[in-house]
Chains A and B, each alone.
Chain A
Amino acid sequence: KAGVTQTPRYLIKTRGQQVTLSCSPISGHRSVSWYQQTPGQGLQFLFEYFSETQRNKGNFPGRFSGRQFSNSRSEMNVSTLELGDSALYLCASSLGQGSTGELFFGEGSRLTVL
């Protein structure tokens, strides 16, 4: 069974630009969560989608948004990039909403903002 696939793996943007990251969950998984990981802040929850609906949201500004498609694939978008948005963005999938905390992670998309 293929794992969680995130694209692109690495990208470099400049301040003010916008970026879209993609996540394909494990086949059959309907829940997708997004996390931001930085050395200073650790793992921070962005949002969770289940059946195309955002079910949970972390404490991030409105520049961070996401969506989920009918095939459970998910995208997240960050607009008006700031230097502080440089991070590893991790996507995780699970069978159902939350699935009692058992998440399967992708390798992440490493974003550098210059």
Chain B
Amino acid sequence: AQSVTQPDIHITVSEGASLELRCNYSYGATPYLFWYVQSPGQGLQLLLKYFSGDTLVQGIKGFEAEFKRSQSSFNLRKPSVHWSDAAEYFCAVVRGSNYQLIWGAGTKLIIKP
């Protein structure tokens, strides 16, 4: 069965440091991949998506993600985090022809001042 794994429940980084959030998926075909962010008390917002083509995709708020087929990964990166990046980040993959999203469990990002 298709699944999405975010191995880190929490990650703490210092403001200004670089960030990488991990996402691994299990899916037979080339997936559609997404990262969403949820700020405290808010709904989710799409950060970026990968459908095909260039494996390095740019998103909003200075985030990028790289699709690596050989590793079944779609890790999210940011070169320098800001305190406002403190949030929960969800990786998701589309399953099947009805485009139902399969969600990871989320990674909570904590920023140290």
Contact = CB atoms under 8 A, between A and B. Distances in A.
Contacts of A107: 41-43
Interface stretch (B19-27, B59-67, B75-83, B91-99): B91-99
Interface in A41-74: 42-43, 45, 48, 55-56
A99 B46 CA distance: 13
Contacts, number: 55
Contact of B46 (A42, A48, A98, A103): A103
A42 B103 contact: yes
A78 B113 CA distance: 42
Contacts of A99: 99
B44 A105 contact: yes
Interface string B19-57: 000000000000010101000011111100101000000
B71 interface: no
B94 A98 contact: yes
Main secondary structure of the interface of B (DSSP, over half): strand
Contact of A105 (B43, B51, B99, B100): B43
A102 B33 CA distance: 10
B51 A100 contact: yes
A77 B46 CA distance: 27
Given A42-B105, A42-B106, A107-B41, A56 B46 contact: no
A43 B94 contact: no
Interface of B: 32, 34, 36, 41-46, 49, 51, 90, 92-94, 98-101, 103, 105-106
20 contacts: A42-B105, A48-B100, A55-B98, A56-B98, A90-B43, A90-B44, A92-B44, A97-B99, A98-B98, A101-B49, A101-B92, A101-B94, A101-B99, A101-B101, A102-B34, A103-B46, A104-B46, A105-B36, A105-B44, A107-B42
Interface of A: 4, 42-43, 45, 48, 55-56, 90, 92, 97-108
| Nearest 8 A/B pairs, CB to CB | A98-B99, A105-B43, A101-B94, A105-B44, A43-B103, A42-B105, A107-B43, A106-B43
